[in-house]
Amino acid sequence: MVNYHAQSLKNQIYTIIKKRLLDQKYQDGHLLSERTLADELRVSRTPVREALLRLQKEGWVRYIPQKGIIVKSLDAKNLTNIFQIRTALEVLSVQLACSHITSEQLEILRLSVEQQRKLAEYDSPKYQEFIFSDTEFHNTIIEASGNSLLRYVVEELRDNIKRTGINSLYSRTSRVAEAANEHAAIAAALERHSAEEAEIAMRHHLHICYTSAYSYIVRPKIKESDSLHG
């Protein structure tokens, strides 16, 4: 049984549903039922409705009259917008990190890459574990930048970054191994304290992330409207 405490019920329900969206338990076009979610989470429909309304405002789901709430697809325009901002912020962070990164932080990056390469060896890549390690890798670089405001701005984008990252990984099974190698190149440039090399490596990595995610979201698939008709 789910134990709700500490924060308000509606916030907890919101957090649970959003995590499922990020983990792609509910994929694009999936029809969400207030009643089913309420029964599953053992709460009334009110906090579920409030959570879904909040997610609708944030662009995660959309309401279709007389049909229900469906998971909204990440479109190409939003993907481009997210990566434009992410690239600007993460290139800045890796440039700054070249002057401030510690030996302890470099070791965290090295261990992250090592873990990612092990995850890539599985026949069926462990995407969620990779995303966790990927987030740790990029967060360590941002921490090493020494710019607390930069950390705050990136954190505001974290959920969107995670969503695009998942789309990138799902584009092809080899993407996990590729990303690990790209991370290794970034870490090597940071170890040499070469801002120019680090920028090139980061731009290369994010460009491939973008093109991979783009190919995934524009792939032929069942339209959202089709999922509502059975």
Over residues 79-121, the pLDDT tens digits come to: 999 999 999 999 999 999 999 999 999 999 999 999 999 999 9
pLDDT score of 228 more than 70: no
> Is 36 among the domain residues?
yes
Range of the domain at 130: 76-218
Same domain as 98, residue 152: yes
pLDDT digits (tens, 9 = 90+) for 9-68: 989 999 999 888 887 788 888 999 999 999 999 999 999 999 999 999 988 899 988 888
Cβ-contact 116, 130 below 8 angstroms:
yes
Edge-to-edge order in the sheet of strand 68-71: 31-32, 68-71, 61-64
What integer is the mean pLDDT of 127-149? Answer: 94
Which is nearest to 100 in space by CA: 48, 173, 150? 150
Query: What pLDDT was estimated at residue 167?
Result: 79
The count of domains in the chain is 2
Same domain as 192, residue 157: yes
Last residue of a domain, one of 36, 71, 106: 71
Cβ-based burial of 141 (10 A; exposed 0-12, middle 13-18, buried ≥19): buried
pLDDT score of 180 more than 60: yes
pLDDT band at 126; cut points 50, 70, 90: confident
Same domain as 141, residue 195: yes
pTM (global) more than 0.85? no
